[in-house]
Amino acid sequence: MQSVFTNVGRSVSLKVVFIAALILVMLIPVSMIKGVIHDRTAVSNEAQQDVMRSWGYEQLIAAPIFVLPYSVTIERERGGRLERATRIYKAYVLPRQLEVDVDLRPDTRYRGIHEITVYSASLKISGSFDRPTMARLPDNVESVMWEDAYIALAVSDPRAIVRTPEILFAGKSTSFESNGATVDGLPSQIIATTGNPFGSASAAFNLELHLNGTGGLKLLPLGDTTTVSMDSSWPSPSFSGSYLPKSRTVTETGFSATWQISSLGRSLPGIWREGTIDVNLARQSAFGVQLFKPVGLYQLSLRATKYAVLFIGLTFVAYFLFEVISGLRLHPLQYLLVGFANTLFYLLLLSLAEHVPFGLAYLLGAIASTALISAYSLAVLELRARALLMAIVLTLLYGFLYMTLKAETYAMLAGSIGLWVALAVVMYLTRRVDWYSRNGSEPDESTGLKE
């Protein structure tokens, strides 16, 4: 074994092969750190689910639907006798005009060291219904049950409603109550009995809904004309769904957005009978906002590990250049220790970032890793100038990595340019090295490596 290391130390070609193999070996601890990041991500997701169960899930809200029961007489012939039976069906009426004003207030909840973004939303919903025309009901309608008519409001997670909402419909105030799935195909609904509100051709309504949620808030555009305005102090919204805002303003202090949607893209008619329409199709037209975090702690940590090979490789190359240019002879174990020191940075980054802001965690981890390798380099590279140069190289590498992590849109571009620059520097420094002469049979006086 000693002779192997001796040959590696004297032969440039063998040293290059050894360094390449050592870089591959260092992928083992890097992959183990990636496994730790995935485990911590899973724990964070469990903490988020725990908060969502107690605070409220992502909310999907469908505007008030006017539900009108009616009875139908069905005739059947059994055993030569004509039998009649009465069955109750429902007609569903959507608003002619629908306006929703949303005030979305983000907040933070914690499970241990894990931070979860939640929100409280206040919705002011107003609009009007046209009196349903009987022309769309079956011919065998026996009676329209106006006294049993009600409003259904769909909320995907009604547990998170803060207080019981009331609706003012045609001048009459009524409280909502839980009723499950009245309109099949929509989320769970709460209902408010209204009776016959149509003293004229149309009836106006308005209500306030206060609820909690996590992640995002979406609505269904069920009005003939749907107008939604939303304001929040969240600085990085992600507008999603079938419709983007007509206008929006996003600043560091929050956002405001307005949607204006007609019924032409809606998958539901203005009025339909029970069982005649697949209401599930309406979910496809949902729109809204996600409280988006540009890049999370674990995403940043995982992205950083993708540059581990670059860090380890460039550090080894720097040490190798010291050997070639300055005539040093470094033992393979010294390369290995420096590689472990570089790898330890990613574990330090992850553990620190769970307790302090990511930027500070990165700074502390970079300082610790740079200080460790520079102090070691002072001993093995024999001159302060060489150790100082190694510290500068590491500082530039860590600075480059941090800028790449923060540059969401240009991360790949920055990484490609950084690799190009690193390769150009190595090629420039070794442009006059006669590699053949360094693998001959006689020692090179300038380097001490075997020729």
Residue ranges of domains in the chain: 2-45+298-439, 59-294
Hey, how many other C-beta atoms are within 10 angstroms of the C-beta on 84?
9
At the topology level, CATH places domain 59-294 in: Immunoglobulin-like (2.60.40)
- Give the pairing of strands 141-144 and 202-214: unpaired
Q: What's the gap between Cα 396 and its chain centre?
A: 30
At 435 the pLDDT is 64
Q: How far apart are CA 338 and CA 334, in angstroms?
A: 6
Q: How far apart are CA 125 and CA 103, in angstroms?
A: 12
448, exposed or middle or buried, with CB in 10 Å at 0-12, 13-18, 19+? middle
At 450 the pLDDT is 41
- Give the pairing of strands 141-144 and 59-78: antiparallel
DSSP 3-state percent helix, strand, coil across the chain (nearest 5) = 40, 35, 25
Give the up-direction half-sphere exposure of residue 405: CA atoms within 13 A in the CB hemisphere.
24
CB 285 within 8 Å of CB 242: yes
Residue 442 structure tokens:
């006689």
Those residues of the chain that have pLDDT short of 70 are 1-11, 79-80, 82, 134-142, 180-181, 276, 294-295, 407-412, 414-415, 433-451
* No. of helices (H) and no. of strands (E), the chain: 8, 18
Three-state secondary-structure class, residue 316:
helix
At 266 the pLDDT is 74
Amino acid identity of 70? Y
Task: Please report, for residues 70, 95, 133, 175, 205, the alpha-carbon distance to residue 201 in angstroms, rounded to integers and kept in the order given.
Answer: 20, 13, 10, 24, 14
Amino acid identity of 447? T
Place of tokens 């040490």: 319
At 438 the pLDDT is 55
Q: What's the gap between Cα 342 and its chain centre?
A: 29
Q: What is the CA radius of gyration of the chain?
A: 34
Residue 24 phi/psi, 5° resolution? -65, -40
| pTM for the structure as a whole | 0.70
Three-state secondary-structure class, residue 65:
strand
Task: Please report, for residues 9, 105, 177, 312, the alpha-carbon distance to residue 343 in angstroms, rounded to integers and kept in the order given.
Answer: 24, 41, 58, 8
Amino acid identity of 171? G
DSSP E strands: which ranges in 274-431? 287-291
DSSP string, 189-247: EEEEE-----SSSEEEEEEEEEEEEESEEEEE--SSEEEEEEEES-SSEEEEES---SE
Task: Please report, for residues 167, 224, 282, the alpha-carbon distance to residue 270 in angstroms, rounded to integers and kept in the order given.
Answer: 21, 7, 12
27, exposed or middle or buried, with CB in 10 Å at 0-12, 13-18, 19+? middle
